[in-house]
Structure 1
């Protein structure tokens, strides 16, 4: 099955999904939040990425339902697609929280979270490119890097929360910062779920 040189439509669909997630994270990483008006524009753009991702997932499900044979278990294909989309959903939700709070203070800790999450999506795309080449073993190095980045986010989260409770005296600001940090930590966990799913697929098929 994997010896065929013909591109597989399901692997191609997973690559498209991962590229949409990657593009959305690079957009979030590069954008400047300096006013409630800019937040609104960013939120609208993130929603458009999420809508595009939902459409790609729907198209994949339709094709899976029609297919008699799939290159790997259809449940694994769908699980990987959903795990990738979770990352995008998480970031869209985080930006929505920024807008809900009219929160424009992006500090160094948040920038670090975004950096490692964006790097994780870069590795997810590389993993899907390996999958399209039917190089399942080649996906592993990218899954490992995603897990490394998630551990970096764990450290950022712990130090951020510690510093927050030591320095912030305003209870409202404390609640907002804590919520935003937790949102970023959850996105990093979603990235780790992508890596875990990749490793499961390797284990079952390589």
Structure 2
């Protein structure tokens, strides 16, 4: 079912994963200092998201042109859309920060983004293995992604509890609640990618 040399679709998927990884590195390491740099952050994440949409288009176009695919078409499409969902969530977070003019992250945001970056690294490793037909080695990375998602669930509960107990400004409660929810949703989308990878393993083992 797999060719020894990665085909075009596998190359596209791996390129998508590396694009996500690059975006996640920027997402974690870029330091907002003022409204100008906040806008730069939001615009750059929007560019990453827009470039991801182009990659989705390329994969769909290629799928429409080939008769035989290395894995099931539905799995390719689901994996593609879930990767795109992750970048959509990251862009949504940056947009919210800009809309609410939040000029610095807190400890919860920093922890979320750290897990997001680590999850992106696991995605790249998984897609490299998928391209090399090393299915049995993907499972450990899928499990790790799900462990990071579980950590983000704990973070979300802690962040919300802390927010409602300590913040007295109702507007800030609304703003930060939305921001924390978005970060937790990004982790959920990573988990969706991991689930698709595990499904591919089971179907092709």
Common fold: TM-score over 0.5: yes
**1:126-146 Cα deviation digits (max 9, x unpaired):** 000000111111111110000
2:31 paired residue number: 32
Contact 2:20–2:120, Cα closer than 8 Å, also in 1 = yes
Gaps of 5+ in 2: none
Normalising by the residue count of structure 1, what TM-score does the alignment of the two structures yield?
Answer: 0.97
Residue 75 (structure 1) shift: 1.1
Give 1:27-176 correspondences, 5 Å limit.
Answer: 27-176=26-175
**C-alpha separation in 2, matches of 1:124 and 1:6:** 20
Aligned-pair CA distance for 1:5 = 1.9
Kindly indicate whether residue 172 of structure 2 is the aligned counterpart of residue 194 of structure 1.
Answer: no
Cα contact 2:20–2:87 (8 A) shared by 1: yes
- Paired with 1:96 and 1:85, the residues of 2 have a C-alpha distance of 16
Aligned Cα root-mean-square deviation (Å): 0.8
Q: Tell me, in whole angstroms, the C-alpha distance in 2 between the residues paired with 1:165 and 1:5.
A: 54
Per-residue deviation, 1:36: 1.2
Q: What CA distance in whole angstroms lies between the structure 2 residues aligned with 1:8 and 1:139? A: 18
- How many Å apart are 1:105 and its aligned residue? 3.0
Whole-Å Cα distance in 1 between the matches of residues 104 and 170 of structure 2? 16
2:21 is the alignment partner of 1:22: yes
Q: 1:37: how far off?
A: 0.8
Q: Which runs of 5+ in 1 are unaligned?
A: none
Tell me the number of residue pairs that the alignment of Structure 1 and Structure 2 aligns: 205
